[in-house]
Amino acid sequence: MLRITNTLTGEKEDFQPIHAGEVKMYVCGPTVYGLTHIGNFRPVVFFNVVRNYLERKGYKVTYVSNFTDVDDKIINKAREQKVSASEISEKYTIEFIQDVESLGLRRPDSAPKVTEFIPQIIEFIAGLVKNGSAYVADNGEVFFSVRHFKDYGKLSKKKIDDLQVGARVDPNELKRDPLDFSLWKPQKAADEPAWESPWGMGRPGWHIECSAMAMQYCGETFDIHGGGMDLIHPHHENEIAQSEGLTGKPFVRYWMHNNLLTMESEKMSKSLGNIFLTRDFVKKYSAETLKFMLLSGHYRSPIDFSEKHIKDVDAALHRIYSARLKCETFPSEGLAPGGEGSTEENKLAAFSQDFPKLWQEAMDDDFNTAKASGYVFEYVRAVNAYLDRKKFKSNEKALELCQAFVSAMKDYSSVMNVLGENSETFLRDLRLRYLEANAITEEMVLEKIAQRREARQSRDFSRADAIRDELLEKGVEVRDAGDTSTWDIVITPKS
């Protein structure tokens, strides 16, 4: 049974969709006025996995995520660059889609844009005005009357009177109550995008778009609404007020919120200037590094980005992909029949059996991707403990266990969107990246290894050891097997 922590109730609950076998989910999408940073991608990466996992459980999933393509930030950027607002929003919508594709993520089933949704939004607002939930100010601005909605604050657990104390009162405001928020904004300047409405030329406020679009694609009451924790108040609180204010029905069954990605313990934001653009990250590290890092913590816990964290993630990927490559290239010819019956073999065989059940149990427990990753590490340890022993000799059972590991990783990656790259390519790129960081090339490594071989042949072991240590300092480990030596990068030295 899948269990989900519901922000609305504050409890971990059994998941029961409204219609058997079907899940409708809506996740707040980006405001398209600039290139995305890696913090923006935490919900994108995580809710994609949620969608995959629901599909794995047999649900037919409808996944909707919007584009906010009308907003003050877009208008300001357009003014700065002396172009139209639509030029900005169209450009950054395309850039966002490119970032999603560079991470190998599936696009939503629907990705509506506010600008293509104006008639529905106007109709929504008109309904709220009609039933008294909203009112029109003298300048044509339409406000939602927060006090009219008695459940206001139920998602964020904020009391309306406490909010009142903190609210700024602007004497120029046309609001009846400082807590009221804008549903429709009158056009103030000719360069602001505007549409005709019963209240004059203007554009929708931010919150109303998500209510209108979610309801159109997912229904008046739907299963899952997701987004970052920073959206709980006011954005999602206001979505509930507008939607339930219109229909009188519960808007969403399960509200899911991902925690944020911090950078060296600080919030990542454009205004603080400590952002890491998604495309820069993918170029400098890899898409796998980003996705694996974002899934290495539980979605409700903060993740702190740091160079050390990146190294740990790369070291983990290196271990997993190396084990996979070893299994993929395990020789299949001339094998002794049966197995060896060793403890390591039995342990690995037992773990291969349990692995699919274990990671899916972790996912059933509120999408615990951190725990699921932990089982992958455990599996890799069992594979290495078995194959890397001196006593190990190839046999049919070993081939079967290697094949089982490869197909288990393939299955895992089909849900988690990680560990699905070609092993050889991934490891080669990773190796090159770390060699480069240590100012050494593959040719230099091979030359050093040749020199070391010569030293060993002339029984100059102190020189051979010195070369080995020199390479290790450059993050390269040499392993001897008989007369030959192999090498690999060491990302995090063993302590």
Q: Which chain residues interact with Zn ion by CB under 5 A?
A: 28, 210
**CA–CA distance, 487 with 322 (Å, rounded to integer):** 12
State how far the alpha carbon of 137 is from the alpha carbons of 70, 123, 144, 146, 374, in Å.
Answer: 22, 18, 11, 15, 56
Read off the DSSP letter of residue 277: B
Q: Packing angle between helix 307-328 and helix 287-295, nearest 10 degrees?
A: 110
* Residue nearer to Zn ion on the CB measure, 243 or 368: 243
Alpha-carbon distance 285 to 292, whole Å?
12
Nearer to Zn ion, 252 or 404 (CB): 252
Closest CA to 379 of 326, 312, 434: 326
> 438, 474 in Cβ contact below 8 A?
yes
To Zn ion, the closest distance from the beta carbon of 185 in angstroms equals 17
Which C-beta is closer to Zn ion: that of 206 or that of 305?
A: 206
Nearer to Zn ion, 210 or 409 (CB): 210
End-to-end CA distance of the chain: 40
Q: Which is nearer to Zn ion, 8 or 28 (CB)?
A: 28
Cβ 206 to Zn ion shortest distance, Å? 8
Please state the closest distance from residue 235 (CB atom) to Zn ion, in A. Answer: 6
Task: Let me know: does 154 contact 142? Beta carbons within 8 Å.
Answer: no
Instruction: State the minimum distance, in angstroms, from the CB of residue 231 to Zn ion.
Output: 6
Give the nearest distance from C-beta 381 to Zn ion in angstroms: 42
User: Shortest distance, CB of residue 55 to Zn ion, whole angstroms?
Assistant: 23
CB 103 within 8 A of CB 45: yes
Q: Which DSSP symbol is given to 231?
A: G
**Residue closer to Zn ion (CB basis): 24 or 291:** 24
Question: Is the CB of residue 45 less than 8 Å from the CB of residue 291?
Answer: yes
Nearer to Zn ion, 25 or 28 (CB): 28
Rounded to the nearest 5 percent, the helix, strand and coil shares of the chain are 50, 15, 35
Work out how close the CB of 52 gets to Zn ion at its nearest, in angstroms, rounded to a whole number. Answer: 22
3-state SS assignment for residue 471: helix
